Amino acid sequence: MPPRQEHHQRPRIRTLNDPPRLGEAGPPRLGEAGPPSRGHSDRHPPRRSFGETGAFRQNTHQAPRHSAASDRKFRKEARGHAKALKRDTLYYVPLGGLEEVGRNCSFFEYNDEIVIIDMGIQFPEEETPGVDWIIPNTSYLEKKKKNIRALLITHGHYDHFGAIPYVLERLGNPPIYGTRLIREIIKKRLSEMPNVPKMRFIEIKSRDKVKLSENFTAEFFGVSHTVPDTTGVALHTPAGIMVHFADFRLDYDQEDTVQNLQEFERLSNLGVHTLFLDSTNADFSGHSVSERIVEANLEASFREAKGRIILSTFSSMITRMAEIVKIAEKLGRKVVINGRSMKDNLEIARNLGYIKYKPGTLIQVEEINKYKDDKILILSTGAQGQENSGLMRIANSEHKHIHIKLGDTVMFSSSVIPGNERGVQTLKDNFTRQGAIVITNNDLDIHSSGHAPGDDLAMVAKICKPKFIIPIHGFYFKRAANIQNMKQIGIGKERIVLMDNGQVAELGKNSVAITDKTVDAFYVMVDGLGIGDVQEVVLRDRRMLSQDGIFVVIAAVDSKTGQVKGSPDIISRGFIYLKESHELLAHTRHLVKRVVEESTNKMHPINYTHVRDNVRERLGSFLFQKTNRRPMVLPVIIEV
């Protein structure tokens, strides 16, 4: 077996369903002026707006804006007066993905024509409580929606297409171009969203060449990734050919990699102006771990396991899921799918022929006890320790049908995404306490990143021979690592252009220059009810308080036994009159006590965040059932 290769982790997947805390403030609303950013002085005044729509602004900060990154995500700056864009000039603008992992979106503009590449989401951070998703700021594009000629989607991962339901109508429902797998995944996502216009989808295949408008022609080429049907885009423009690689890796054991390299060479012969290169893994040396090595290690581990196997990976890793189901079938294990998103993707992939298995291979979770333990494999979501995920419910002994037994083997076919270390460690601890054997990617190569490391990036650049390189996808540190990667093949740093979200690059026939203009690229939040920023969430809380009030329940919990001590206290404001609701309060206290004790049963140490989530969800449903009102429910769990 070759030596283990360094490989990066996928974007942090973490959903925060907690409602925002009472009294929390957020950044300024869309359309409002906010406080100036830190570091302003007479020498560096606040930016001025640019363009007759007010969406472009002058950029007086040419250096990377490192220390103010947190403020920059949210701030809204004052607008002024300035001139319009130059005609007959190609512009490139990243709206997301360059200062984070996720929210991938960028566009090219030439005269009255705009082509967008990807429209992804970013998962919420600790500093964005109560937020479901973070999406690209499309305010500039909305003002020019009549000019949008195409939205090109490179592949079926949420960080590249997940924002479509939230912005499709705002952008004038432009035609969407992508492969058939992308079409089905987006269609499934749109079917879950109310009041979304029917998408205009144009299906493409690798090597298709499509004229999008008078000045833009897109040529699609296949790349290897963790999801099938991933494509890069060679965009033919008046300034030259812009090659956007999307997410990719080079797996030298797969036949399609050889074909992809030949396609890269063909593009090189046409002449590549700028290479837009995935930098998620740029700060690691070496080459990608082959998926064949991962498959062999998974099979060896499956053969050694004496009891049930519980394996968790990302629900979007269709190629990996296909390998796992194939091995399980080969070894005579029945497969149980634990997680709705994984079930949906598996069904789509099977209907399109990307995953094949015999009838009877997949069974329902209710049938799990009909088979011997060594004949069961459970494929689950939740490898990043997400609250309320399928794997977390198993670890906390809260799953209705799956409970850990001595001899179970729990496998994490994924890397730990930065920021999720604590949640994943809690998972591993809980599984180990209950007698399971835990295997991670640190023990054995049972996961391979979908993003090319530094040496592979250098090889692609050497084949494509671009005039310029604009690193995309990832934090500034990762993108800057390409300066060193390209040095080994003779590409100097003067040909590598490092941009930030919202900056505007002017692309001439023999030049790339970052202009003094910027586009709004601050965070736009989705909280489940609407699209806006954090202040919209605060306004939602105020409306909720004014309409249905607040309901606070306080329970003291024994930290050793998990039992509720005494009777929970209740505080209600604007919801019910306590003195006239004795029966409701009695039922409420009984419910809270039962939910807390069910949630803490066999949980050591107690995860109080998880307990609060359960109380909030169950109590909210109970109160709505009894009163047809939805107060803000705030459970307070006191450890004693």
- Annotated binding-site residues read 130, 132, 155, 157, 159-160, 225, 247, 447-451, 473, 527
Residue 541 structure tokens? 């809380």
Comparing C-alpha atoms, which of 399, 392, 455 is closest to residue 426?
392
In order of 543, 550, 619, 621, the CA distances from 627 in angstroms are: 18, 14, 12, 10
Comparing C-alpha atoms, which of 207, 217, 216, 181 is closest to residue 264?
207
- CA atoms of 393 and 416, how far apart (whole Å): 19
**Contacts for 255-260 with beta carbons within 8 Å, 24 or more apart?**
256/222, 256/224, 257/224, 259/222, 260/221, 260/222, 260/223, 260/224
- In terms of Cβ atoms closer than 10 Å to its own Cβ (0-12, 13-18, 19+), residue 363 is middle
Tell me phi and psi for residue 92, to 5 degrees.
Answer: -125, 130
Active-site residue flag, 278: yes
Residue 105 structure tokens? 């979106």
Q: What is the 3-state secondary structure (H, E, C) of 33-81?
A: CCCCCCCCCCCCCCCCEECCCCCEEECCCCCCCCCCHHHHHHCCCCCCC
- CA atoms of 546 and 490, how far apart (whole Å): 65
Active-site residue flag, 443: no
What is the number of alpha carbons within 13 Å of residue 286 lying toward its C-beta?
13
Tell me phi and psi for residue 479, to 5 degrees.
Answer: -65, -35
| CB of 616 closer than 8 Å to CB of 635 | yes
- CA atoms of 340 and 325, how far apart (whole Å): 17
Alpha-carbon radius of gyration of the chain: 26
| CB of 553 closer than 8 Å to CB of 618 | no
Residues 6+ apart with CB under 8 A from 90: 108, 109, 110, 237, 238, 239, 506, 507, 508
Angle at 543 between CA 542 and CA 547, to 5 degrees: 120
Binding site membership for substrate: which residues? 447-451
Q: Which of 278, 283, 520, 533 is catalytic?
A: 278
| DSSP assignment letter at 562 | -
DSSP notation for 118-170 = ----B---TTSTT-SEEE---HHHHHTGGGEEEEE---S-HHHHTTHHHHTTT
Binding site membership for Ca(2+): which residues? 130, 132, 527
Residue 344 structure tokens? 């949906």
Task: Count CB neighbours of 266 within 10 A.
Answer: 14
- In terms of Cβ atoms closer than 10 Å to its own Cβ (0-12, 13-18, 19+), residue 168 is buried
Residue 490 structure tokens? 């003779």
Kindly list the catalytic residues: 278, 451
